Structure 1
Amino acid sequence: MSQNKSSKSNKVLLAFSGGLDTSYCIKYLIHEKNLEVHTAIVNTGGFSEEELQAIEQKAIDLGSFHHTTLEVTKEYYDKIIKYLIFGNVLRNNTYPLSVSAERTYQAIALANYATKIEADYIAHGSTGAGNDQVRFDLVFQLIAPQIEILTPIREQKLSREQEVAYLKSHGVELDWEKAKYSINKGLWGTSVGGAETLTSHKPLPEEAYPSQLVNNGNETVTLEFENGEICGINNKKMNPVKVIQTLEDIANKYAIGRDTHVGDTIIGIKGRVGFEAAAASIIIKAHHTLEKHTLSKWQMYWKEQLSNWYGMFIHESQYFEPVMRNIETFLEDSQKNVTGKVFVELAPYRFVIEGIESDFDLMKSDFGEYGEMNKNWSGDDVKGFTKILGNSLQIFNQVQNKVQTKAQNKAQQKQQKNGK
């Protein structure tokens, strides 16, 4: 599990995911930089115990001096995902921030661990063209400014084919067909990048997605929320992380939650990435539907404004900006009545929200039934209300008509004068 430690202070902590980029980094840092490489993977809920064990073995086989798993799934939910649900956050109305959100807590865990083991360097496998380089660098600089950051892929501007060739030259054989897609898996979804996402027109092929279509029928699941938090599925109470994982396991067999996100990167260029996020997609829509029944018009309006800002700041690595705590306070306070059940039908590649049940359902009032019957006002009340409602429009139109009439009269007088 280890190699002879050099007396020279040359310890580097590498953020290791087991993918192509970080596999390259281990070999490069050992053979080209002569560093003692320690590796760590930060689990944000996307890996099973078997997968984590396989990643650890791979790190050791590649030459890692020591490997560890840093577990932050619950903290990641409590500090970020909970608020993404409260805010129904979808970047550009599409992407549930599957990777954007988890990078902050991965970076925090890595920086703290690097400090603990007294590493001289901390390394990650980000390229120079994406968002993750900024997210990791920023958090590392804030939490562990004394540790130098190394980024082999970014510094050398390497293609994935070049990385495969380098690993092969050091005795590591990789199947290029499997390595050509960059896959990042977490509790809130999985991103998929590859040759197709570098274009503006090519879709990802079916085989690029980690989860394949298994179920061709239909089924209905019941999701339960309490004060905005997901707390149960199919009439079984669970902690939120367990509900998300259970729903993901059920829904990804229908290949639900697939899409391609196109947006503006932190560094100012357009980016395109595929993703699958079955649980996130369903939970956000279910929660939003429950809110539409239980919140007021203006609560919904202002939540939408602040939630959009919250999602943008998460995406752009501004988690530590103080205003984020202010927005979180607002979002949490807005959830007092967001309690009830949501019924969701699952089918291949899609889902449908069937309806909700809630003691706070504002449709269940004694005031009226939409489009059917009024119980707390008369027809004359509506006539008077509508007349008053139209006052500002009538005043505006009256003034405009007077101005237009005056202008037309002037024009006619001028024409008559010129005609003489």
Structure 2
Amino acid sequence: MAEKIKRVVLAYSGGLDTSVILKWLQVEYGCEVVTFTADLGQGEELEPVRGKAQMAGVKDEHIFIDDLREEFVRDYVFPMFRANAVYEGLYLLGTSIARPLISKRQIEIAHEVGADAVAHGATGKGNDQVRFELGYYGLDPDIKVIAPWREWELTSRSRLIEFAEAHQIPVAKDKRGEAPFSTDANLLHTSSEGKVLEDPWEETPDYVYSRTDNPEDAPDTPEYVEMDFEHGDAVAINGVALSPANLLTKLNALGKTHGIGRLDLVENRFVGMKSRGMYETPGGTILLSAHRGIEQLTLDRGAMHLKDELMPRYAELIYNGLWFSPEREMLQAAIDSSQAGVTGTVRLKLYKGSVDVVGRKADVAYNLYSQDVVTFEDDAGAYDQRDAEGFIKLNALRLRLLGRRTR
């Protein structure tokens, strides 16, 4: 018998899975369901979700549809990009970074409405169940979590549809067959997994891509873009100041046109298995190149190299759902400290799937690059080349001692 729950907040998309979950919670737990839908820039009209929740008997005051796009980019995406975070050298963490914000708002709503539980639609095979639940428990250690996919016996699409039909839940025609793949989208990326993508030897079919044009069909003329940074965050494109969400939206449009940001990856999930996914991160790919470009001028070598050492650990924490952990917060403090002087402008060249930094500049207050010192021409005494002899001899001392010992 299910544990007694009075009220639960469900992360609700309005799709088949979460619509079934909503009714299943009402039937199995006999509880009142509060729905929460986050607008993270997934590009879908979310207002129809309200009608679906109402049809399922959810009270108007218990239907939450929140526009979180600015908060998502400002407080989650941008801090992550200050670290230049990539998981396993390639993945820009588009799904991972959305989960802590959803968890945070879900717990806030639970407190607002007096709910004693939260629920999500993540399966028992994936990473998202871990990310959601670590977020929940990190913010409310006593919250009850319901994960239907780990409890129910609706283990196939046909059984989900049977349940939906038995409880008068509308099922769209395109949901009745086996889905060729599953997707998750937000303002940072779109991910596609499963079915047609499960064989890692087979090339991703063209119809899977939704956020980027084919690089082979992209314009034959490159496009040049300038991006301004202040203290590690992008603030303007081509001299036009933009809010975080609007800036990423603009970068996404540029990346789409030029076919930038496609990634076919076999990754190691936190739960232990390998999975193959196709990711499209057009704006994020441009942003990462630009951020590294301005750091080249403004970040000290020691700080830059330490950041690069810390980055894989930081990225793994986000991938594994540990955004609210003390170690992630410690690393974030160090990363943010390094960004105080990361201010300037980067010029980028976008062309047929590639993004290249072709120029960068910074005011003298932030610039660590000295043309007077590095020039191959007469440096007018800015650098004494004779100093290098002592530098080399001191660094060679231990090697010379080792060499003498091993003769």
* TM-score bin, normalised by smaller chain: 0.7 to 0.9
In structure 2, the partner of 1:294 is 298
Structure of higher CA gyration radius: 1
1:106 to 102, 114, 132: 102
Contact 1:36 1:65 in 2 (8 A): no
**Whole-angstrom CA distance in 2 between matches of 1:201 and 1:166:** 36
Task: Using the TM superposition, give the Cα deviation of residue 277 of structure 1 relative to its aligned residue in structure 2, in angstroms.
Answer: 0.9
Structure 2 segments unaligned to the other structure (5+ residues): none
In structure 2, the partner of 1:413 is none
In structure 2, the partner of 1:191 is 191
Identity within the alignment, %: 28
Task: Indicate whether 1:52 and 2:52 are aligned.
Answer: no
Contact 1:20 1:160 in 2 (8 A): no
1:18-417 matches, within 5 Å, as 18-30=14-26, 33-47=29-43, 51-61=45-55, 64-66=58-60, 67-156=63-152, 158-160=155-157, 162-164=159-161, 166-167=163-164, 170=168, 171-176=170-175, 179-213=179-213, 216-217=218-219, 218-359=222-363, 360-369=366-375, 375=380, 376-401=382-407
Note the aligned Cα RMSD (angstroms): 2.7
- Secondary structure class of the residue paired with 1:291: helix
Task: Using the TM superposition, give the Cα deviation of residue 394 of structure 1 relative to its aligned residue in structure 2, in angstroms.
Answer: 1.9
Task: Using the TM superposition, give the Cα deviation of residue 334 of structure 1 relative to its aligned residue in structure 2, in angstroms.
Answer: 0.8
Task: Using the TM superposition, give the Cα deviation of residue 145 of structure 1 relative to its aligned residue in structure 2, in angstroms.
Answer: 4.8
Structure 1 segments unaligned to the other structure (5+ residues): 1-7, 402-420
Change (3 A) 1:57 1:223: farther
Change (3 A) 1:62 1:372: farther
Change (3 A) 1:76 1:33: same
- Secondary structure class of the residue paired with 2:325: coil
- Secondary structure class of the residue paired with 1:156: coil
Can you list the C-alpha shifts for 1:239-283, whole angstroms capped at 9, x where unaligned?
Answer: 222211221122223332111333332222223322111111111
**Whole-angstrom CA distance in 2 between matches of 1:9 and 1:388:** 70
With structure 2 as the length reference, what TM-score do the two structures score? 0.86
Aligned residues: 391
Change (3 A) 1:255 1:399: same
* One-letter amino acid of the counterpart of residue 312, structure 1: E
Task: Using the TM superposition, give the Cα deviation of residue 30 of structure 1 relative to its aligned residue in structure 2, in angstroms.
Answer: 4.2
**Whole-angstrom CA distance in 1 between matches of 2:122 and 2:237:** 37
* One-letter amino acid of the counterpart of residue 80, structure 2: L
Worse-superposed segment, 64-73 or 171-180: 171-180
Task: Using the TM superposition, give the Cα deviation of residue 372 of structure 1 relative to its aligned residue in structure 2, in angstroms.
Answer: 6.0
With structure 1 as the length reference, what TM-score do the two structures score? 0.83
Change (3 A) 1:98 1:147: same
**Whole-angstrom CA distance in 2 between matches of 1:83 and 1:150:** 30
* One-letter amino acid of the counterpart of residue 55, structure 1: V
**Whole-angstrom CA distance in 1 between matches of 2:370 and 2:52:** 57
**Whole-angstrom CA distance in 1 between matches of 2:378 and 2:152:** 70
Change (3 A) 1:219 1:161: farther
Can you list the C-alpha shifts for 1:338-381, whole angstroms capped at 9, x where unaligned?
Answer: 11111122223322222212223433342122x66655345544
Change (3 A) 1:379 1:141: closer
**Whole-angstrom CA distance in 1 between matches of 2:385 and 2:295:** 30
**Whole-angstrom CA distance in 1 between matches of 2:377 and 2:185:** 48
